[in-house]
C-alpha cells in the first residue's frame, strides 16, 4: 500500500493509553450505546406514534395540554371498530392478501424454474439471460405504469385484481430469480451428478433433490415477494378504480382521506392494521430475510 | 460365483414413455423452464418499456391511441417550468437523501458490527421501517408533520421551548422538500445499514489485528481497511438506492401529492399526475422516458465502481 509511510510515521505517535481507553465502559457508552439508542428511538418512533394514535379517543388526540400525548389515558377500540365495520377495510385486506399470495406463487414458480435452468442446466448463453433478468430488476415501476395502464385497459383487465397479479411479477421475478440463482449455486452439484448416474431424470432431480435442499431459499424468496407485493402502490393506484377492489395502501390513502378534516385515529388504525400482517409474517422468518437480503447483496 | 450369477441378472429398467423422455431432453427442458419467466417479463416488462417510449412520441390520451408527433412532447416539456422543477427536485431529493442515508446507514452498520447483546432482535427491529408498506409509514409521517397537531412541534415548542411557533412542515416549498427527504432517509437507513453490516462481517479480523500491531488509529483502520473493503457492496447498494430514490413515487404522493404549489413534484409523481388523472398519456410517458438517461447513468456508475474490485483483490498491480 502506498500509505505505508504514513502509517510508519504515525506508529511512534500511537499511545498505549488510547487502546486501553477504547475498552473503558464510559467511552463505550458514549460512542456505542448512546447513538444506537438514538437510532432505535428514531426508527421506531413513527410506529409508536401510529399505535398510540390508533388507540386514543378523539378527545385526547387533539388535546396535548391536558393529556400527556405520549401516553394513552383511556384506550379505546373505536377507531378500529369503525374501520372494520363501517368501511370496506376487511374487503381491502382480503383483496390485498389474494393479490399478494397469487403473485407470489406465480413469481416463485417461474423464477424457480428459470433459476434452475440458468444455474444448473447451463445452456449456451445462460449467463446473458441471467444478466438480462438482473437488468430487468433495475427497471422501476415508475417508468412502466403508463404503458402498462394502456395495456391493462386493452386487455380488459382494468379494475380487476388480475391486472395486479399479472403485473407484480415484473419486479418479483427478477429479484427472486437472482436470489435463487445464488441459492442453487450453494447446493453441491455432485448431488445432482450422483442422481444422474443413478438414472434419475432431470425433473426427478429438480423435484426430489434440488428443491427440497433449496427450501430456505424458496422461503426467503417467498417472504420477499409477499412483502413487496403487499407494499406495492403505484400499479394498484393506476389500475384499480372501484373502491371494493382496491388494495390496503391505496384504499387508506384514497378512501379514508376525505374532506379537509382528517380522521387521524382511523387513518393510523388502518395503517397499523395494514402493517401488521407483513410485520408478523416477517417476524417469523426474520433470519431467512436478513440472511438472504445480505446474501443477495453479496452476490 | 459372481461370474455365474452375473448373466442371470436381468436389467429391469423399463423404457420411460415419450413424455418423460421429452422432459429429459435438455433443449426442451430449458425452453419449458425459461418460458414462464421470460414470457412474463417480455409481455409485462420489455413490451411496456418499448410501448412507453413509443407513447412518448405520440399524442395519445386515455381512450384514444395517438399518432406519431415526433419530439413535440419533449419540446413542450422543455418549456414547461414545472417539468424542470420536477427534474431539479428529483436530483436534489436523490442526492441529498442518498448522502444522508449512506452516512447514517454506514454509522449504524458500524455500531451494529460491535459485540452487542440481543443482536438479532436489534437487527429485526431496525429493519422494520423497511418492511412496513411505504405508504402506511408515509401516512404516519404525514400525521407527524401535521401543522396543528404535530408531536414534533409540540415537543419543540411546548416541552423544550426551543421556538415559539409550530413548525410549518408541509405548508411551503423548502420545508416540505426537506420533510420529504427526512421521511425517505428514515425509510432507507435500515436497508443500507443491514446490507453494509453484511459487508462489514466479511472483512477478515486479521486485517485489523495487523493494523493494530502497526499502531494504526481508529480512523486509519476505517479509512484504509473498512472503507476500501466495503466499496464493492457500497457500490451495489448505492446503485439500487439511487435508482429507487430517483423514481420514488409513494412517499411524495402520500404526503404532499406534489404540493404545495407543485414544489415537491418528483418526475414520477408529475408523470402520474399528467398521465393517469390528467389523461395526457403521451406527456406522462415522455416525463417517464426522461428518467431513463438518469437511470442508465446510475447503472453505469455501479458497473464502473464494481470494476474497482480487481485492484482490491490484488489481481491488477496497484
Whether residue B44 and residue A148 make contact (CB cut-off 8 A), yes or no, is: yes
Give per-residue pLDDT as tens, B10-36: 555 566 677 777 777 888 888 888 889
Of residues B261 and A13, the one with the higher pLDDT is B261
**B296 and A CB contact within 8 Å:** no
Whether residue B13 and residue A199 make contact (CB cut-off 8 A), yes or no, is: yes
Least confident range of A257-266, B121-130, B207-216, B280-289: A257-266
Mean pLDDT of chain B: 84
Q: Is the pLDDT of residue B5 over 80?
A: no
How far off is chain A from B306, nearest CA to CA, in Å? 12
Domain with CATH 1.10.3720.10 in chain B: 80-311
Evaluate the omega torsion of the peptide bond into residue B260 and state whether it is cis, within 30 degrees of 0: yes
Q: What is the mean pLDDT of residues B238-244?
A: 87
Residues 200-239 of B with CB under 8 A from A: 202, 211-212, 214-218, 220, 224, 233, 236-237, 239
Residue B40: list chain A partners with CB under 8 A.
Answer: 106-107, 110, 166, 169-170, 173
Q: Cell triple for residue B98?
A: 442518498
CA diameter of chain B = 105
pLDDT of residue B189: 93
Q: How confident is the model at residue B6 (pLDDT cuts 50, 70, 90)?
A: low
Q: Which residues pair with B68 in a beta bridge?
A: B58
pLDDT of residue B308: 56
Degrees, nearest 5: CA angle A150-A156-A158: 65
Nearest CA to B23 out of A206, A198, A120 is that of A206
* CATH of segment(s) A87-298: 1.10.3720.10
**B198 and A CB contact within 8 Å:** yes
Residues 6+ apart with CB under 8 A from A249: A96, A231, A232, A233, A236, A274, B133, B134, B135, B136, B250
| B131-158 core/surface letters (b: 16 or more CB in 10 A; e: else) | bbbbbbbbbbbbbbbbeebbbbbbebbe
H or E stretch at A26? helix A25-28
**B290 and A CB contact within 8 Å:** no
Asked if A7 and B216 touch (Cβ cutoff 8 Å), the reply is yes
Indicate the residue of A49, A173, A287 with minimum beta-carbon distance to B120.
A287
Of residues B194 and A6, the one with the higher pLDDT is B194
| One pLDDT digit (tens) per residue for chain A, 299 residues | 444 444 444 444 444 444 455 567 777 778 888 999 999 999 999 999 998 888 888 888 777 777 778 888 888 888 888 888 888 888 999 999 999 999 999 999 999 999 988 888 878 888 888 888 888 888 888 899 999 988 888 888 888 889 999 999 999 999 899 888 888 888 888 888 888 888 888 888 888 888 888 888 898 888 889 988 988 899 999 898 888 888 888 888 888 876 666 788 888 888 998 888 888 888 777 777 666 665 555 44
**B132 and A CB contact within 8 Å:** yes
Nearest CA to B298 out of B219, B225, B240 is that of B240
Nearest CA to A258 out of A86, A17, A36, A37 is that of A86
Q: Where are the domains of chain A?
A: 87-298
pLDDT of residue A7: 46
Q: Cell triple for residue B267?
A: 418526475
The fraction of chain B above a pLDDT of 70, given in percent, is 90
How far off is chain B from A44, nearest CA to CA, in Å? 8
Indicate the residue of A3, A64, A166 with minimum beta-carbon distance to B224.
A3
Residues 6+ apart with CB under 8 A from A133: A114, A118, A173, A174, A177, A178, B37, B41
Mutate to test the interface with A, among B33, B58, B149, B222 (most CBs of A within 10 A): B33
Angle of the A141-154 helix axis to the B267-275 helix axis, nearest 10: 20
R_g of chain A computed on alpha carbons: 26
**B100 and A CB contact within 8 Å:** no
Residues 6+ apart with CB under 8 A from A91: A244
Alpha carbons B186 and B239: distance in angstroms, whole number:
18
How far off is chain B from A45, nearest CA to CA, in Å? 10
Degrees, nearest 5: CA angle B147-B132-B135: 45
**A195 and B CB contact within 8 Å:** no
CA diameter of chain A = 79
Residue A140: list chain B partners with CB under 8 A.
Answer: 243-244, 247, 295
Alpha carbons A106 and A165: distance in angstroms, whole number:
8
Whether residue B134 and residue A69 make contact (CB cut-off 8 A), yes or no, is: no
Alpha carbons B285 and B73: distance in angstroms, whole number:
9
pTM tops 0.90, yes or no: no
Alpha carbons B106 and B227: distance in angstroms, whole number:
10
Nearest CA to A4 out of B200, B314, B230, B220 is that of B220
* Phi/psi-derived region of residue B217, left when phi > 0, alpha when psi is between -120 and 50, beta in every other case: beta
Q: Which residue has the cell 442446466?
A: A121
Alpha carbons B104 and B186: distance in angstroms, whole number:
10
Residues 17-76 of B with CB under 8 A from A: 20, 23-24, 26-27, 29-30, 32-34, 36-38, 40-41, 44-49, 51-52, 55, 60, 62
Q: How confident is the model at residue B8 (pLDDT cuts 50, 70, 90)?
A: low
Whether residue B137 and residue A271 make contact (CB cut-off 8 A), yes or no, is: yes
Indicate the residue of A123, A227, A267 with minimum beta-carbon distance to B30.
A123
Alpha carbons A77 and B40: distance in angstroms, whole number:
44
Alpha carbons A288 and A248: distance in angstroms, whole number:
26
Q: How far is CA A176 from CA A77, A108, A134, B255, in A?
A: 39, 7, 10, 30
The DSSP secondary structure of A123-184, one letter per residue, reads: -TTHHHHHHHHHHHHTS-HHHHHHHHHHHHHHTT-TTSHHHHHHHTHHHHHHHHHHHHHHHH
**A286 and B CB contact within 8 Å:** yes
**A278 and B CB contact within 8 Å:** yes
How far off is chain A from B271, nearest CA to CA, in Å? 8
Residues 6+ apart with CB under 8 A from B312: B228, B229, B231, B232
**A144 and B CB contact within 8 Å:** yes
3-state secondary structure chain B: CHHHHHHHCCCCCCCCCHHHHHHCCHHHHHHHHHHHHHHHHHHHHHHHHHHHHHHHCECCECCECCCECCCHHHHHHHCCHHHHHHHHHHHHHHHHHHHHHHHHHHHHHHHHCCCCCCHHHHHHHHHHHHHCCHHHHHHHHHHHCCCCCCHHHHHHHHHCCCCCCCCCCCCCHHHHHHHHHHHHHHHHHHHHHHHHHHHHHCCCHHHHHHHHHCCCCHHHHHHHHHHHHHHHHHHHHHHHHHHHHHCCCHHHHHHCCCCCCCCCCCHHHHHHHHHCCCCCHHHHHHHHHHCHHHHHHHHHHHHHHHCCHHHHCCCCCC
Q: What is the ipTM of this complex?
A: 0.83
Whether residue A202 and residue B288 make contact (CB cut-off 8 A), yes or no, is: no
Residue B218: list chain A partners with CB under 8 A.
Answer: 22
- Chain A nearest-CA residue for B224: A3
Nearest CA to B286 out of B76, B43, B124 is that of B76
Alpha carbons A66 and B310: distance in angstroms, whole number:
64
Q: What is the mean pLDDT of residues B171-182?
A: 90
Question: Within 10 Å of residue A190's Cβ, how many Cβ atoms?
Answer: 8
Whether residue A275 and residue B137 make contact (CB cut-off 8 A), yes or no, is: yes
Distance of CA A35 to the CA centre of its chain: 26
Whether residue A142 and residue B288 make contact (CB cut-off 8 A), yes or no, is: yes
Whether residue B33 and residue A150 make contact (CB cut-off 8 A), yes or no, is: no
- Structural fold of domain B80-311: MetI-like fold (1.10.3720)
Amino acid at each position: 500500500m502506498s500509505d505505508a509511510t504514513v502509517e510508519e510515521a504515525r506508529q511512534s505517535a500511537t499511545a498505549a493509553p488510547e487502546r486501553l481507553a477504547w475498552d473503558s465502559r464510559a467511552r463505550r457508552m458514549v460512542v456505542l450505546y448512546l447513538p444506537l439508542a438514538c437510532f432505535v428511538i428514531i426508527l421506531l418512533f413513527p410506529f409508536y406514534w401510529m399505535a398510540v394514535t390508533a388507540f386514543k379517543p378523539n378527545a385526547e388526540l387533539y388535546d396535548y395540554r391536558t393529556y400527556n400525548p405520549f401516553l394513552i389515558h383511556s384506550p379505546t377500540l373505536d377507531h378500529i371498530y369503525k374501520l372494520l365495520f363501517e368501511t370496506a377495510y376487511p374487503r381491502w385486506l382480503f383483496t390485498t392478501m389474494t393479490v399478494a399470495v397469487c403473485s407470489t406463487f406465480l413469481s416463485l414458480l417461474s423464477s424457480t424454474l428459470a433459476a434452475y435452468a440458468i444455474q444448473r442446466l447451463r445452456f449456451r448463453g445462460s449467463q446473458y439471460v441471467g444478466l438480462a433478468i438482473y437488468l430487468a430488476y433495475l427497471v422501476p415501476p415508475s417508468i412502466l405504469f403508463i404503458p402498462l395502464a394502456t395495456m391493462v385497459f386493452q386487455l380488459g383487465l382494468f379494475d380487476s385484481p388480475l391486472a395486479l397479479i399479472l403485473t407484480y411479477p415484473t419486479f418479483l421475478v427478477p429479484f427472486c430469480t437472482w436470489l435463487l440463482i445464488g441459492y442453487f449455486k450453494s447446493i453441491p452439484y455432485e448431488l445432482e451428478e450422483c442422481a444422474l448416474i443413478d438414472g434419475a431424470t432431470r425433473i426427478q432431480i429438480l423435484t426430489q433433490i434440488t428443491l427440497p435442499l433449496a427450501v430456505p431459499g424458496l422461503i426467503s424468496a417467498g417472504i420477499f415477494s409477499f412483502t413487496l407485493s403487499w407494499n406495492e402502490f403505484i400499479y394498484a393506484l393506476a389500475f384499480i378504480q372501484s373502491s371494493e377492489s382496491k388494495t390496503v395502501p391505496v384504499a387508506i390513502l384514497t378512501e379514508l382521506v376525505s374532506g379537509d378534516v382528517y380522521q387521524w385515529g382511523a387513518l393510523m388504525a388502518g395503517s397499523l392494521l395494514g402493517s401488521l400482517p407483513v410485520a408478523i409474517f416477517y417476524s417469523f422468518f426474520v433470519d431467512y430475510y436478513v440472511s438472504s437480503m445480505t446474501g443477495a447483496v453479496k452476490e | 460365483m459372481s461370474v455365474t450369477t452375473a448373466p442371470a441378472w436381468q436389467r429391469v429398467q423399463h423404457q420411460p414413455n415419450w413424455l418423460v423422455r421429452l422432459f429429459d431432453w435438455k433443449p426442451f427442458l430449458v425452453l419449458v423452464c425459461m418460458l414462464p419467466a421470460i414470457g412474463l417479463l417480455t409481455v409485462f416488462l420489455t413490451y411496456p418499456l418499448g410501448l412507453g417510449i413509443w407513447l412518448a412520441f405520440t399524442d395519445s390520451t386515455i381512450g384514444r391511441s395517438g399518432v406519431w408527433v415526433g419530439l413535440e412532447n419533449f419540446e413542450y416539456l422543455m418549456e414547461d417550468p414545472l417539468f424542470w422543477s420536477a427534474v431539479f427536485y428529483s436530483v436534489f431529493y436523490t442526492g441529498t437523501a442518498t448522502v444522508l442515508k449512506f452516512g447514517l446507514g454506514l454509522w449504524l452498520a458500524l455500531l451494529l458490527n460491535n459485540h452487542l447483546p440481543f443482536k438479532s432482535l436489534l437487527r429485526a427491529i431496525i429493519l422494520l421501517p423497511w418492511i412496513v408498506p411505504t405508504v402506511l409509514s408515509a401516512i404516519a409521517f404525514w400525521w407527524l408533520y401535521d401543522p396543528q397537531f404535530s408531536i414534533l412541534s409540540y415537543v419543540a415548542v411546548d416541552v423544550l421551548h426551543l421556538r415559539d411557533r409550530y413548525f410549518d412542515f408541509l405548508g411551503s416549498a423548502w420545508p416540505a422538500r426537506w420533510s420529504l427527504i427526512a421521511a425517505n432517509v428514515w425509510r432507507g437507513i435500515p436497508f443500507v445499514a443491514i446490507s453494509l453490516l453484511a459487508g462489514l462481517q466479511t472483512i477478515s479480523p486479521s486485517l485489523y489485528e495487523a493494523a493494530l500491531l502497526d499502531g494504526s488509529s481508529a480512523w486509519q483502520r476505517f479509512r484504509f481497511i473498512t472503507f476500501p473493503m466495503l466499496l464493492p457492496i457500497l457500490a451495489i447498494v448505492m446503485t439500487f438506492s439511487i435508482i429507487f430514490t430517483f423514481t420514488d413515487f409513494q412517499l411524495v404522493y402520500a404526503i404532499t401529492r406534489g404540493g404545495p404549489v407543485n414544489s415537491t413534484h418528483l418526475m414520477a409523481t408529475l408523470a402520474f399526475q399528467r398521465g393517469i388523472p390528467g389523461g395526457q398519456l403521451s406527456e406522462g410517458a415522455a416525463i417517464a422516458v426522461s428518467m431513463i438517461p438518469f437511470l442508465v447513468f446510475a447503472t453505469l456508475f455501479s458497473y464502473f465502481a464494481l470494476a474497482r474490485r480487481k485492484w482490491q483483490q490484488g489481481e491488477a498491480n496497484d
